[in-house]
Amino acid sequence: MVRNYFLLCLLLTSLGLFSGSVFATSDLWLLVDTKAKKIEVKKGELTVETLNSIAIGRGGAGYKTHRGDNITPFGDYKIGWIGEKSTFRRFFGLTYPSADDAQKALARGIIDKYTYNRILNAQLSGQIPPQNTPLGGQIGIHGLGRANVRIHETFDWTHGCIALTNQQIDHLSQLVDTGTLVRIK
């Protein structure tokens, strides 16, 4: 009986229908468009709101290869935790690295099988993946805090996160919660 329950949870998780402890109460999700520098708040395929003028990692967007590469990762993640007392005002931590990130990194020899299994097990159990892998961690969406808004408007300045103005992050905090899907393209 327990084995059947585990297999059902595993199947539902792989289909994106069950997410363990990382669970959103809303059907809103976020599409981060790194080329257009915007976040679309989506309900299904309908865009209900757009947050413009975001900043991303200094290294652009793509597939991260190592901690400190300053790249904003492409992929599907969830908001795994919310830091209300961040130096960047608010911090929505993403479930990076994902099992997909781990599979690519294992194939390229960036991580070992043990690290791959830790990341995969975290995703399958709906937990936050380890944040101390060679792929890095602590990727999220955050505000500026005390940073200069003119710098934010001028160039991409983060170490891989997605940055919004303080006003935008405050507004977004009213729309999302842990478990909200974030697709970065």
pLDDT, tens only, 70-95: 999 999 999 999 998 888 999 999 99
Instruction: Please report whether residue 16 resides in a domain.
Output: no
Residue 142: which CATH number? 2.40.440.10
Pair of tokens at residue 179: 């478990």
Q: Is the pLDDT reported for residue 152 higher than 50? A: yes
User: pLDDT > 90: what percent of the chain?
Assistant: 79
13 lies in some domain = no
How far, in Å, CA of 123 to CA of 9, rounded?
A: 12
158 SS3 class:
strand
Element (H, E) at 181: strand 181-184
The CA angle 123-58-70, to the nearest 5 degrees, is: 40
Q: Is residue 68 part of a domain?
A: yes
Considering its fold, how many domains does the chain have in total? 1
**Is 8 a domain residue?**
no
pLDDT at position 85: 83
Amino acid present at 83: G
Paired strand residues for 78: 181
Look at residue 4 and tell me if it is in a domain. no
pLDDT, average across residues 121-138: 96
2 part of a folded domain: no
Query: Judging by DSSP bridges, how do beta strands 28-33 and 38-43 pair with one another?
Result: antiparallel
Q: For 96, what's the count of Cα atoms within 13 Å in the CB-facing half-sphere?
A: 28
At position 116, the amino acid (one-letter code) is Y
- Considering the domain boundaries, does residue 173 fall inside one? yes
How large a percentage of the chain has pLDDT more than 70? 86
Indicate the pTM of the whole model: 0.84
For residue 97, the enclosing domain spans 21-184
Contact 42, 31 (CB under 8 A): yes
